[in-house]
Structure 1
């Protein structure tokens, strides 16, 4: 198996079923870039479904569930593109670009879509999206400077993805009486509340990563 240094730690990679699935994908001719492209489509689809809950409130429950499913598919794509590239030795020269750029587009689509959705806050969605990009940028620039890749943080990518998906599932199945309203004109709901929690949490994640990278580089400079 290839070295896992620099890859996001995902325990599910070690499961026999996921390893078998990666082998099957490689055998069927699926490339890592194709899997990354599918993940991008799922990520944008999830954000679109969340935004459409505001346009079609009568279909909001179905749209929230659809968004949650597409977030899961995006997460699986994020895992399998790397597994096919590394474990199955199918990596390409453009693999790093396909691994990172679709993720950033998906991050923005998901969080902005949540902000424009039913009970969301567009401002919080945009702020959360910008800070998600900052978190990824800090990791990337830290690696370029010589620090190890840092995927940790209270609001790293996986936490952002799956907490939004979890809230979408809750909104889809919970009674309408659970959907409290607050904010300007009572237009905000549970999704806005979570996005406003995510904003400082994501900023904290970026700051902590920056501090870790700085500490590592300073220590290395004095050795």
Structure 2
């Protein structure tokens, strides 16, 4: 399982490690932390719908970042904290897909591009589908981008901050729409790159198996 963990630099952050260690000492489970990420995403999504409110956009940013924090901490509590469960892999994936969908669909409605929001949500789910397919075939899961989860949420965060600036300057709101276009296009490209890598890994695995048989 550790081989299929997403490489995240913040896992080495002292504050994150201390928070994870504290949570590991409490009755809180990694699966509960994973579900909390959906709650934070839902709060962020509701805030996104109030596009003209600076405070709402700040709440949206906080919701996105807290969602990501939960996604880091749940793995640390599970692995380093010794709280793995047999259903852990399910909770590691399903809440992520819900959180992505809630945030991206809400961004679409907030930016006046509902169809694009749904499309971005679908493409984000497909990036994960391709990755997990590799794992189901016995290969190492590839978390390559250019628009993996962290990149999607980074773009959304900057889009929210840009919306705050637009509101302050009394300008039309374009940042959320622009961010959504970047996320959708980047996710589509990520599906392509991950699929090509999956095909390449399958061929390599077959060649390796053939060499072992000959040996």
Equivalent position of 2:5 in the other structure: 7
In 2, Cα distance between equivalents of 1:65 and 1:199: 23
Equivalent position of 1:83 in the other structure: 76
Do residues 171 (structure 1) and 171 (structure 2) align?
A: no
1:65 CA displacement? 0.8
Do residues 203 (structure 1) and 201 (structure 2) align?
A: no
In 2, Cα distance between equivalents of 1:107 and 1:90: 25
Q: 2:61 aligned to 60, 68, 71, which one?
A: 68
1:200 CA displacement? 1.9
The answer to whether the Cα contact below 8 Å between 2:37 and 2:95 also exists between their aligned partners in 1 is yes
In 2, Cα distance between equivalents of 1:79 and 1:198: 21
In 2, Cα distance between equivalents of 1:120 and 1:5: 40
Is there any run of 5+ residues in structure 2 with no aligned partner, and where? Answer: 209-215
Per-residue Cα deviation, 1:106-147 (whole angstroms, up to 9, x for no partner): 000000000101x34111111100000100100011111122
In 2, Cα distance between equivalents of 1:201 and 1:44: 23
Q: 1:130 aligned to 122, 129, 149, which one?
A: 122
Equivalent position of 1:184 in the other structure: none
The answer to whether the Cα contact below 8 Å between 1:44 and 1:110 also exists between their aligned partners in 2 is yes
Per-residue Cα deviation, 1:19-59 (whole angstroms, up to 9, x for no partner): 22111111122110111111110012211211243xxx4xx
The answer to whether the Cα contact below 8 Å between 1:36 and 1:81 also exists between their aligned partners in 2 is yes
Instruction: Give 1:46-65 correspondences, 5 Å limit.
Output: 46-53=44-51, 57=52, 60-65=53-58
1:151 CA displacement? 0.9
In 1, Cα distance between equivalents of 2:175 and 2:14: 38
TM-score normalised by L of structure 1:
0.87
Is there any run of 5+ residues in structure 1 with no aligned partner, and where? Answer: 182-188
Distance 1:154 1:120, change over 3 A: farther
Number of aligned residues: 208
1:176 CA displacement? 4.6
- Other structure's SS at 2:155 match: helix
Q: CA RMSD in A?
A: 1.7
